[in-house]
Amino acid sequence: MPVLTPPAAKKLDRDAATLSVADVAGYLQDHLGQRIAAHLVGLRDAKQIGRYRREDGPEPNQRTELRLRESYKVVRMIVEAFDEKTAKAWLFGTNTRLDDEAPIDVLRAAVEPAQFAEVRAAARQLVSSEE
């Protein structure tokens, strides 16, 4: 299993900040499915992810865009280290680093940078463990 190296982490952060919303939404939709991706970022209408994915699609509000980009970091980190199945399982499983909450629920409700940082740290622990 690959370990998240500092250069890989830096590239992940850069990509999450510079990719278009369409690319970020597309990645989440491709790797998690439309319903899970929508739920992850707090959207009631699952089809909205598909709309954001279009190059000429609507722009999300600031909070939704932040959740899209932060979720992208977490999901990509796990998918690259393991696979999509593991990413989905991790998102829905309870996590002791998150007070036994599921990461998907923490990301969906997150509004503060510290909340996103907690989930990223938990994901980083998963992909950096060398057991």
Which of the four pLDDT bands, split at 50, 70 and 90, describes residue 55?
confident
pLDDT in tens, 27-49: 999 999 999 999 999 999 999 99
Cβ atoms < 10 Å from Cβ of 110: 21
User: Which two tokens mark 118?
Assistant: 């907690």
Sign of the C-alpha dihedral computed for residues 7, 9, 14 and 19 taken in this order: positive
pLDDT in tens, 58-86: 999 999 999 999 999 999 999 999 999 99
In this structure, what are the phi and psi dihedrals at residue 56, rounded to the nearest 5 degrees?
-100, 15
Instruction: Give the start-to-end residue ranges of the domains of the chain.
Output: 6-128
What average pLDDT is seen over the chain?
Answer: 93
Who contacts 113 (Cβ-Cβ below 8 Å, separation ≥6)? none
User: Which two tokens mark 15?
Assistant: 């990509």
